[in-house]
Amino acid sequence: MLTPTLQVWGISATEDVSLGPDDKATSQSRLRLHSRITIFDQDGSFDIIRIRLQGAVRTQIGSQVAVEKFPSSTQTKTNLDFQPVHSASRQRSDEQHLDFICSVPATNTKRSERKSSSGDVLDSFVPTMSVTGNTYVTRVSALRDRHLVEGSCKVAYWLEVEFWRSESNHLVGALTCPVDVSALLMPLDVEVSIPNQSNEIEQVVKPPLRSLGRLIWSHPQPELSVTIPKKLGYLLSDSSRLSRGSRHLSIPVSVHIKRPSQSRRPVQALPPGDSLKCSVKAMWYTRRTFTTGSSAAESVVNNTTVSAQKLSLTLPPLYRLDSESSPCTTSMELNLILPGSISSPSVHTDLLAVSYILDLSMRFEFNGHEILKGSYNASLRLPLTLRAAQPHPIISRRNFDPLVGYVAEEAIYAPPPYVF
């Protein structure tokens, strides 16, 4: 008698070494699901095993329901693929198992429209999630009669295993198991999704405004610019912090100070060794939108979460790279602890969209300078794209000491291959 069981071990972020270079370039997912089928007392009732991993997005707003299925991942095994289990207490065991790996399904997103600045095609992986929200619906009979309608969205995955006898094309048995494809412990790659050819985002900050009298008699103020890379880094989970399991992101920021262009009056010198103080306010916006596919406006539910974080930093001393005319430069690293609302990759499907925006407000002040007073205010609104990170055994991160500046690169070992 056939008595099978199904175990799901976890998600692996390691590339499949069995794939060739061409297959890896066109592979739609870097994630693999590891599972095991165990059978007892195999009596030869089947010879074919069909394995299928499926996923779908189900949305409901009021009475409207829509389902978007992901392309399934399928494979076929035979009864000869089972391995016997050797028991130390018994010489003979009736237990056999089959270990297999399935690719996690990807969405039908138009991949040509979603490319990183380096040209790599982004993953269209959607983790298991559940979103709720409300919207207002206007009745047809009365334009002023609006009522609240609840909506929900769920992303689910499940594993199906079928046992067939090929000669009679008869289904002998079947197993179904839900799969939690979580992204909580998965390293994510964070990138600014602004369409330009540069690998950096730069903003020139205007000098502080002055009164008319001070403007006539004072020296021109230096120009300050802020530069950050488009690839912000990796989003890692850090269980060593008090906020257990929180994610953190370190953003390198370069600050350049130079003489103002087209100035007729002498410019106040800014000798190397001076330092800046920086006050930072980071605002995180998480927007989740789901729909039932209808063109009506009431079929869309938006769920936006806002979180804030404030930092105060003293930047390393300013330095010049070349001549006296070259700008003074310094650097800092913003260590941000992300809110719980930022826990999954960016999602763009027909029914569900998850997007992120980071607002950085930075206020720079010269530390201890008697003449250069006032503040420089920089504001950056950065739409972000989060995706499953390319698996690496070691992830390097730069460290900046607030007193001596750049120190060294720190090697961070990537999480183990199994996510759960």
**Residue pLDDT, tens place only, 102-111:** 888 877 554 4
> Which residue's structure tokens are 């009979």?
141
Is 257:210 a contact under the CB 8 Å cutoff?
no
The predicted structure's pLDDT at residue 119: 38
Q: Label residue 368 by pLDDT band (50, 70, 90).
A: low
d(CA 15, CA 27): 10
Segment 118-140 mean pLDDT? 71
The predicted structure's pLDDT at residue 413: 43
The predicted structure's pLDDT at residue 282: 94
According to the per-residue pLDDT averaged within each range, which of 153-157, 165-169, 392-396, 406-410 is highest?
153-157
Architecture of domain 5-179: Sandwich (2.60)
Q: What is the DSSP letter of 289?
A: E
**Phi and psi based region of residue 169 (left: phi greater than 0; alpha: psi -120 to 50; beta: remaining):** left
Task: Give burial (CB, 10 Å; 0-12/13-18/19+) of 195.
Answer: exposed
Segment 226-253 mean pLDDT? 74
Segment 38-48 mean pLDDT? 83
The predicted structure's pLDDT at residue 239: 47
The predicted structure's pLDDT at residue 56: 94
**Residue pLDDT, tens place only, 179-200:** 888 766 677 889 999 887 788 9
**Quick one: tokens of 279?**
């006050």
**Residue pLDDT, tens place only, 406-416:** 455 554 444 44
**Residue pLDDT, tens place only, 306-335:** 899 999 988 888 777 666 667 888 889 998
Residue 360, pLDDT above cutoff 90: yes
The predicted structure's pLDDT at residue 2: 66
Q: Tell me what the pLDDT averaged over the chain comes to.
A: 75
Q: Could you tell me the residue ranges of all domains in the chain?
A: 5-179, 188-413
Segment among 89-103, 241-255, 322-336, 351-365 with least mean pLDDT: 241-255
Segment 352-381 mean pLDDT? 83
Residue 116, pLDDT above cutoff 70: no
Question: With helix as H, strand as E and coil as C, how does the chain read?
Answer: CCCCEEEEEEEECCCCCCCCHHHHHHCCCCCEEEEEEEEECCCCCCCEEEEEEEEEEEEEECCEEEEEECCCEEEEEEHHHCEECCCCCCCCCCEEEEEEEEECCCCCCCHHHCECCCCCECCCCCCCEEEEEEEEEECCCCCCCEEEEEEEEEEEEEEEEEEEECCCCEEEEEEEEEECCCCCCCCEEEEECCCCCCCEEEEEECCCCCCHHHHHHCCCCCEEEEEEECEEEEEEEECCCCCCCEEEEEEEEEEEEECCCCCCCCCCCCCECEEEEEEEEEEEEEEEEEECCCCCHHHEEEEEEEEEEEEEEECCCCEECCCCCCCEEEEEEEEEECCCCCCCCCEECCCEEEEEEEEEEEEEEEECCCCCCCEEEEEEEEEEEEEECCCCCEEEEEEEECCCEEEEEEEEECCCCECC
The predicted structure's pLDDT at residue 381: 94
**Residue pLDDT, tens place only, 273-284:** 567 889 999 999
**Residue pLDDT, tens place only, 374-390:** 788 999 999 999 987 76
Q: Label residue 262 by pLDDT band (50, 70, 90).
A: low
User: Can you give the pTM of this predicted structure?
Assistant: 0.77
Q: Which residues contact 30 (CB under 8 A, 6 or more apart)?
A: 13, 15, 123, 388, 390, 391
Segment 132-143 mean pLDDT? 72
